[in-house]
Structure 1
């Protein structure tokens, strides 16, 4: 099988196979686990004959690219959220891609204005509500999470996590910092416990009766429904698409960026084009229970069955630019404590 990968857990312990330029390969640094990319990259190799090599890390890839500089073997970086994409851009580690295929397949609000990153899939930042303790339609917006009626009834992961920072950044973009901070203070006042765990842990907490509402990415819900050990917890919650009747549900993305070094640049751009097209979009979105970034591709049957996603049309670049303000806001309200 042409797909090859090496994994690393931290910046100080990066160990991977030697990667080098070749006429028939492309080298990928990935924040998304390599096994999740395998069917996608196998399809690319089958179609093009270009082999793929993947280095996976949970963190530290931007620092690694900086150390390697122009000698880096990496052609592209694949990430799991807008914050990491924006970090690559801010550090000057990506180059612009002016490509008609990418621009035709990926909507303007889901790509960098200068082509320095492109979304591949999207996911909604949903509200999960207890089936037993929250009436259908009782909560429909993010803003309502600050309503005192929910005091002691909400669970979330850390406010500093990139997924929450992106949501808080979008609240700043829509409401301004003062109003967004008042909202975040209200949300904190409604927490049932100190922020902890991941998105799946919040769903489990609802199932256990610790809280009645939580915030989480839509794909975690799908993964839990597909897991025999977690399905019961997932079935204890109802998925809510916040702000569907207004500005739309906040979305985050998985995405891709072309590195400055890119020794296999032509192959890398072919990969980017492939990933934006219908075949790959269907494979990638279905494998991860996400939504295709290409609007001409329908979501998989399970995801479609949750209801129609009306995404917030706000540019993700605009959200990314408010990240630092959101982090400061989380500190000011002492959200995690």
Structure 2
């Protein structure tokens, strides 16, 4: 028997798994199921609409392209602005106009044409050793290129989506040549070849391999909740650097409605629910992220890490710089 293509098998699995409710909404998600289950459960309890989630590790754009108009997906959930932008650029989303979405999502956190809408933010910050880095020793992203950090910085691959977004911000603020010089300076200060994920950088600080690292805020919450990793987290402070004359770089988790959405009305209801203060606080608490709806507050643990002013650049402006940032990263052989 000829095996089904992977995407076709997954579609069938999604359909079979659907709860027996008359109304439904189908989601393709890069976010792991356990991270969004509290949200989907709350939405179903409030509306009576079943939520079916197909978790994807990669290949969302390719899958939607292969399915075309037959796709069962109504919404896509993802993290990182470049992934949202990729779906838009591929013509796989549709613009949404909604008073509720406009009221709940600040302009810098949604597509000006309404194709994607932010849900929560995470800051790209510095993890700093409590023992070896003094308070105020690093305050800007530009500081990371200072020779005083030579042999003291750890980071994951420069081509990782989170770091590409940070480099895009460097290009936005300093131009291509300025960003190139910055990347070269950071590379010269690395304690080891870029490797691992953000938590691996904190482990390296704990082990004495480096003194500071670049990472996302929410990993701190995840490490503190893990008995094996709590000791790593306890060894560092979170520092919110800024771009000179601007603010702290943030990225988002976001949602977009697919162009082929078969349950458009239900999908819109879910988008509006996801950006409501109630859902924002559920999402932010369970994921250790920052809610973006006006009047919402972060989890007390997240608030304990300190406050910051987000860089006011619209994230779509950074998405347009992604290819340039990736090319620049490869030009300086950042991972070499």
Fold in common (TM above 0.5): yes
Counterpart position of 1:299? 298
Counterpart position of 1:49? 48
**TM value normalised by structure 2:** 0.95
Matched, 1:251 2:247: no
Q: Give per-residue Cα distances to partners, 1:104-155, cap 9 Å, x unaligned.
A: 1000010001000000000000011110001011101100000000001000
Q: Give per-residue Cα distances to partners, 1:145-181, cap 9 Å, x unaligned.
A: 0000000100000000000000000010011000010
Counterpart position of 2:13? 17
What are the within-5 Å matches in structure 2 for residues 43-192 of structure 1?
Answer: 43-192=42-191
Count of equivalent residues: 328
Following TM superposition, by how much is the alpha carbon of 1:23 offset from its aligned partner in structure 2, in angstroms?
4.9
Counterpart position of 1:205? 204
Following TM superposition, by how much is the alpha carbon of 1:80 offset from its aligned partner in structure 2, in angstroms?
1.2
Q: SS at the partner of 1:173? A: helix
Counterpart position of 2:3? none
Following TM superposition, by how much is the alpha carbon of 1:12 offset from its aligned partner in structure 2, in angstroms?
9.9
Aligned partners of 1:148 and 1:186 also within 8 Å: yes
Aligned partners of 1:16 and 1:55 also within 8 Å: no
Counterpart position of 1:314? 313
Counterpart position of 1:264? 263
Q: Give per-residue Cα distances to partners, 1:204-241, cap 9 Å, x unaligned.
A: 00000000010000000111111111111001011001
Following TM superposition, by how much is the alpha carbon of 1:245 offset from its aligned partner in structure 2, in angstroms?
8.2
The list of structure 1 runs, each at least 4 consecutive aligned residues, that deviate by more than 2 angstroms after superposition, is 10-16, 18-23
Matched, 1:332 2:331: yes
Please say which of residues 305-314 and 144-153 is displaced more in the overlay.
305-314
Q: CA RMSD in A?
A: 1.7
Counterpart position of 2:224? 225
Q: SS at the partner of 2:15? A: coil
**TM value normalised by structure 1:** 0.94
Q: SS at the partner of 1:19? A: helix
Following TM superposition, by how much is the alpha carbon of 1:15 offset from its aligned partner in structure 2, in angstroms?
6.5
Cα 1:18–1:222 shift into 2, 3 Å:
closer
Aligned partners of 1:27 and 1:54 also within 8 Å: yes
Q: SS at the partner of 1:168? A: helix
